[in-house]
Structures are given as C-alpha cells and as structure tokens.
Amino acid sequence: MRFCQHFSICGGCQYQDIPYFEQLKMKESQIKDMIDFFELSVELKPINSYREWFYRNKMEFTFGKEDSNLICGLHRKKEKRELFNLRECLIFSPCAEPILNKVREVLKNRYLPYEKFSHRGFLRHLVIRETKFTDEIMIALVTTTQDKLDQEAFVKELVALKLEKKISSLFWILNDRVSDAVIFEEKRLLWGQPFITEKIANLNFRIFVDSFFQTNSYGITHLYKKIEEYAQLTGEERVLDLYCGVGSIGLFLARRAKFVWGVEIKKEIVENAIVNAQLNGIENISFICSDVKRFLAQKDISNIDIVVINPPRCGLSKKIKKYLLKMPSPRIFYSSCNPYTLFTDLKDFSSLYRIVFIEPFDFFPHTPHLECLAFLERKN
C-alpha cells in the first residue's frame, strides 16, 4: 500500500490508510444504505473505478510562512487554518513537486505571503492544472496587487523546468479580495497559450484558467461513454443538458442525437462550451446562458426526449423539480457528486419516474467523495 508522506497531517485524503478495494466496498455499501433509507426500489450497478493515484487534473496550493520561510502547500487536517509545505501529492501529479520547489525557490526572500487577518502580503495561491491525455500543464500564480512580480525571472525559471509534461500556459492572476477562494479578478497571460486542451475519448476540450472542468479526466471519460451507451441514441432524440458547464456531456451525446440544448448560468463557461463545439466540428448543439430555474419557467420542454442533469452539490430546488415534473420527459440521466442531494431528488422524482438504476463512479479515491449516475424512465 502506498502512503503519501503528508498523510498524517494533510486535510486532503482521509482514506489513504484503508486498502483501495475496501474503500470501494465502503462506498458501495454507503449507496446501498441510502437506497434503503430513502426506500427506493432500484438496481444498484457495481461501482466503477479507474486510477487510484495521480487522478486529479487540478490543484490549488496556498502560500504561507513557517519559521519565517516561504511555504506553499495545503491546509492541515486538524488546525485547518494552518498550512504545511507540500512535497508530493499522490492524487494529483508527479509534476507537483518539481513545480512547487521551483516556484518557492524563485519567489522566496523576494515576496511576502498574503496574510488574511492583516490583509497584507503578496503571494496567495498557485493553481496547477494538467491534462491527463495530452500531457499539458497550466500554472497560475495568484497574488494581490501589493507588490510587483518580476515576470521575466518567473517565466524564465519555470519554462526551463524539465518535467514529464509540457508547460503550455503560464498565468499571473491578481486578486485583492479578502476571501480565501481563488478569484480570477484580473488575468494576465505571461507565457504560452491561454488554454490547455484535454482529450476525452475522441473529443477535445479547451480548459481556460478559470474554466470549470471535472477534476478526474479518467473518470469522466468512462462516465460520458456510459451515458452515451445507455442513451441508445438513434439520431432522432432531442436532448436537454441542464447545468452543462463547458458542454462535455452534451457534446458527447450530440454526435448521435438530433439536437442538444445546453443550459449554463455563467457567461464565460457558455463561451467555453461554444469554443468546444466548434473545436470538435459539432453543429447540432446550442448553448443557452441562463439560470436553469428561469429557463424551465419560460420554456416548454415537453418535446424533449432525454434530460441530462448534472447540478452543483446542492442538487435541485423544489421549484426546479416542480417544473421538470410538470413537463416530464421520457428519460432522465442525473449525475451528481453528492449522493445525499441526489437521493433526495430521486425520491421526489419517483412519483412520476421509475428509477431504473444507480451506478457509482469513484472519481475521488482516498476521499469520502463519490459520483453517482441515476437513470430514470417515465412511468406509463
């Protein structure tokens, strides 16, 4: 069994000391328990798993100070506000260590880490994204505006790094807000392209510095293929992809459906989805920038054959469920990273829908998190 050197202190992976096959059993039995708890009559398909290690395609590290030395790492398990200096991250990438070492070396003794309580300091976060199938890396340094980055030195040192993958994009993000979150207030491209391109099955997806992209590229390849397989498209279906993000599921289905509409609230994500459709030469898809609730309140969706739902962790509001149940489509695929809200919503759908199956996908090994897909068919 492999153990990360930071396991005892890191707030990230909580299950590393449990053998992976047992983690999978635990997650499966958690879903079984929820089926019983919510009194659903549904087939539970076996859990899917892929890579146990190095599966994440994005991490956000935070700068801080330890004994007056600059550190960059993650938050501690117990003292959550405290950081530790990260040397390796076994769920992310072997590239993390050389990148973090270089960044600390270049920035130490020159800049102060940001300190929330005084709102003073410069260095806030380091965001690293890497594609798993095309081997590209994007690095974004997030700072306040309280100092001036020596851009030339930063770029020169990082670009010269010898890594297993290629650094194709280097950003400087400026953000003066008090919030601890990574906020892309001002984006400056320092070097390379403003995006990296991931390949999921045979589709290309551009990932910009602030794009939402599912964090497990291996997992989504499998999940999207499964949705495509279960949908058994004939070329006649009209598909509605709610909470479509950068268009991933919709683009997969568009290749065999008549037409797909994707609904997403954030303008820049919709623009990213349109770029992805063009990049893949897919024309039978259209993206609508709207709140799902407003969209459902205004549009008649009774001619839709398949609805795909992939909401944020909070699930669906009562109003949204009411709209969906008022104009029920024959089939629904509901995918979620929060089993509790998924089951709550499924229970509400079960008055008009047969919940055919639930299939867990372990997108997050060594953590308690789990993605689940549910397939619903309208009752006659």
Ligand X SMILES: C[S@@+](CC[C@H](N)C(=O)[O-])C[C@H]1O[C@@H](n2cnc3c(N)ncnc32)[C@H](O)[C@@H]1O
Can you read off the two tokens belonging to residue 51? 């890579």
Minimum distance, C-beta of residue 297 to ligand X, in the bound complex (Å): 12
Q: Return the beta strands (E) in the chain as ranges.
A: 43-44, 58-66, 69-75, 83-85, 123-130, 136-143, 166-174, 186-192, 195-200, 203-208, 238-242, 259-264, 285-289, 306-309, 331-336, 353-361, 371-378
CA angle centred on 209, ends 185 and 259, rounded to 5°: 115
Distance CA 154, CA 176 (A): 21
State which residue, 233 or 244, has the beta carbon closest to ligand X: 244
DSSP class of residue 147 equals S
Q: CB 152 → ligand X: shortest distance, Å?
A: 35
- CB count, 10 Å around CB of 119? 12
* Least distance from ligand X to the Cβ atom of residue 312, Å: 5
Reading the block at residue 334, the tokens are 């509901």
- HSE-CB at 33 with a 13 A cutoff on CA atoms is 8
- Residue 50 beta carbon to ligand X: minimum distance, rounded to whole angstroms: 16
56 neighbors 215 (Cβ within 8 angstroms): yes
Q: Which residues are near ligand X by CB under 6 A?
A: 212, 214, 243-246, 248-249, 263-266, 269, 291-292, 310-312
CA nearest neighbour of 161 among 110, 218, 99, 205: 99
User: CA–CA separation, 111 vs 128, rounded Å?
Assistant: 20
Min dist CB 238 to ligand X, Å, is: 18
Nearer to ligand X, 203 or 246 (CB): 246
Could you list the active site residues? 337
Query: For residues 123 and 109, what is the distance between their CA atoms, to the nearest angstrom?
Result: 12
Helix axes 96-107, 151-159, angle to 10 degrees: 150
Nearest residue to ligand X by CB is 245
| Nearer of residues 144 and 217 to ligand X, judged by Cβ | 217
Q: Which is nearer to ligand X, 161 or 289 (CB)?
A: 289
1-39 as b/e: b if 16+ CB within 10 A: eeebebbeebbbbebbeeebeebbeebbeebeebbeebe
Q: Which is nearer to ligand X, 96 or 237 (CB)?
A: 237
Tokens of 256: 């065999």
Least distance (Å) between residue 346 CB and ligand X: 17
Which of 212, 259 has the CB closer to ligand X? 212
